[in-house]
Structure formats: C-alpha cells, structure tokens
Amino acid sequence: MARSFRYPVRDPADWAAMGRLSPLRRLALALRERRYRRRARPADGIVLTPAGPERPLAADDLALVCTVRNSASYLPAFLAHYRRLGVSRFVFVDDRSDDGTAELLAAEPDVDLFTSNVTYGASAYGRVWRDALFTRYGRGRWYLNVDADEFLLFPGCETRSLRDFIADLERAELKRGLAPMLDLYPDGPLREAVYDPARHRHPLEVSPLIDGEGYEIAPEKFTLAVRGGPRTRLFGNRIRLTKFPVIFVDAATQENGSSIHGPLPIARNFSAVHAVLLHFKFSSVSVEEFTRLAEEGEHFGGGVFYAEIAASGAFNPDLSLEYPGSLRVGSSEDLVTRGFMQDLRP
C-alpha cells in the first residue's frame, strides 16, 4: 500500500522516505512509462512560429519556457520575479491572447515569443510545444518550466539564485525539483482583490494567503502527488498540485504522453518537495476567468476542474476563501520551518 504523508511535512523521516523506490516499484514504473511514450500525441503538423529572429542560448544562459494567454496585467511581475532569480532568457508560446500580452512580450529584449497553428488544448495542453522548444533550444541543460501565474520560491531565494538552487539539486543527484502549487487568495472577498500593475509589484499584494493545513502527499502512478488547498477545501476539487518547475532536460525527458504534473522519465518524479510555486489563481477576475476556461474546454478533461468550481453556487465575487487555517505567505525560511519544503543545503 502506498504510504501517505502529512503535508506540510514536519518529520524528517517522512521526507527521506519519499525518494525510496523498491526494485519492484521501479519495474512497474518502467512498464508504465513504456505505455506513456507509446500514447504520446503525434506532433506532426503542429508548428511553432517565432515572432522575431531566433537566437540560440549561450552556454551560461538559464532559460524559462512558458505557455501564456491573457496574462498582461501580471506579466511584468512574473518577468521581474524570475529575472531577479537569475533567468536570462524567456521563451513564451502565446495562445491567442487578446489583452496585449503578445505586444508586451514582443517588446522585451530577453523574451523569445512564439505562436502556433493549434491551440493549447490541441497541443496536448502545451506539452507538445514544450517538448519542441526543449529540442529547439538544446537538451542537456537545466530549464525553468512554469506557467505565467506561477511564482517559484526555494530555500533562501531572497538572497540566492536559481543557479545556487540547481547546485543543491545536483549535489543531491536530482534532475528535477518537485514543487507543489500553493493557491494564493485574498484576505477578503474576491471582488476586492483587484490587481493593478500600476500599483502592485507582486500578486502577493492582493492575494497574500495560502491554506496552511489540510493537504495530503502520497506516491501515485507517475509522481509524488500533493493535493489540497482552497480548491479541495471549498469545492472538493482534487487536482494534483505537484509540478517540476526546475528540470534538467536530456534526451529522455518528455512531457507529451505523460502529464504536466509528472514528465517522463517517471522514476525522476519521486523525491521530497524542495520548492513551492505561489499560484496566482484567485482574485477579482477569477469568477469570469474560471467560467471562460470551463466553456472553452481547452484544459485537462475539457476544463473539468474549472467547470466544477464555476458551477458552484458559492463561487461568486463576494466569496472569501479565508478560514482559520489561512496562512499569510512569509519568507522562504518560514515555509521551510513550517514543512512546506525541504532545504537541501548542508
């Protein structure tokens, strides 16, 4: 039986046990991976078109790959966040934005912008695009692999760079860093959480809270999975929160055929949590956005996770997600102390 852990995890023995895979478990994962690779969506006919001249990465570049749609309001915060951490090149695929996202990105000198002849859903939820970009820009190197509403934190990130964090992973002989999405939400009604890029430098200024308890963490079929947060607490939504935003991409790495929550090879997806993604999901625009995403059906299961919430009679602009277990996001050290992530430093 798979062992479940409390999350946040406060027992060091639990953290250590997460990366242990028996020979029988490894064999089962290898057989499952073979099936996943066979079921990968054919990429023939899916084209990525650059908006400008293509520029190869230098040996010391650290590139971030991202799919984006209608994120113009908080993209300046996103870019500033990752530049501060040490990203030197951003590679975006814009999926039919009509809010100025493409124009904003095209004006940034460290951004490479692509469009596609197919939608996000038709590209296996962006997985075909990401695999193609990894090949295009070069394998055998580390990448950031995130969405535009995800803000990475790792131990000591206030004074340390992503290169430092990657060195931590390499010392631990890891090829990717596991990080759950922690959904951010406001400390009042959704309608009051209006993000204004002219006034706000980070989504935490309007949505500063996360759930401080009520999560679960357990080995599942292709990854160590974290579930919980306000979507589970209020709406019974059991989406996997686990992602791998810092990843060494080699010839074996593949998203197509697997999941954004657990790329291939599967055996690399079972380690302790070493970072978190602050997920800017709840603000004044969320009710409208969730309804649109449910109607478009471009996300997993036809947008089932958005449809469940959008159909809830409780999900309206007057809703407050705050509860007694809400936690105001503090420093990375505070998140380590509370058990949200493990510090790999000696």
Distance of alpha carbon 287 from its chain centroid, rounded?
21
**Model confidence pLDDT, tens digit, residues 141-154:** 999 999 999 999 99
pLDDT-derived band of residue 3, with 50, 70 and 90 as boundaries? low
Cα–Cα distance between 303 and 315 in angstroms, integer? 16
Residue 62, pLDDT score: 98
Cβ within 8 Å of residue 198, ≥6 positions away: none
Secondary structure of residue 31 in the 3-state scheme? helix
pLDDT attached to residue 302: 66
pLDDT band at 41 (very low <50, low <70, confident <90, very high): confident
Domain limits, the chain: 5-337
Dihedral sign of CA atoms 157, 209, 277, 293 in order: negative
Residue 2 confidence (pLDDT) above 60: no
Output the pLDDT for position 1. 38
pLDDT at residue 53 greater than cutoff 50: yes
Residue 44 tokens, joined: 């023939």
Q: How confident is the model at residue 303 (pLDDT cuts 50, 70, 90)?
A: confident
Q: 89 with 112: CB under 8 angstroms? A: yes
Q: What is the pLDDT of residue 149?
A: 97
- Per-residue pLDDT tens for 98-131? 999 999 999 999 999 999 999 999 999 999 999 9
Q: Which residues fall within 8 angstroms of residue 82, CB to CB, at 6 or more apart?
A: 64, 90, 144, 152
What rounded mean pLDDT belongs to the chain?
Answer: 93
What integer pLDDT is reported at residue 173 of this predicted model? Answer: 96
pLDDT at 27 over 90: no
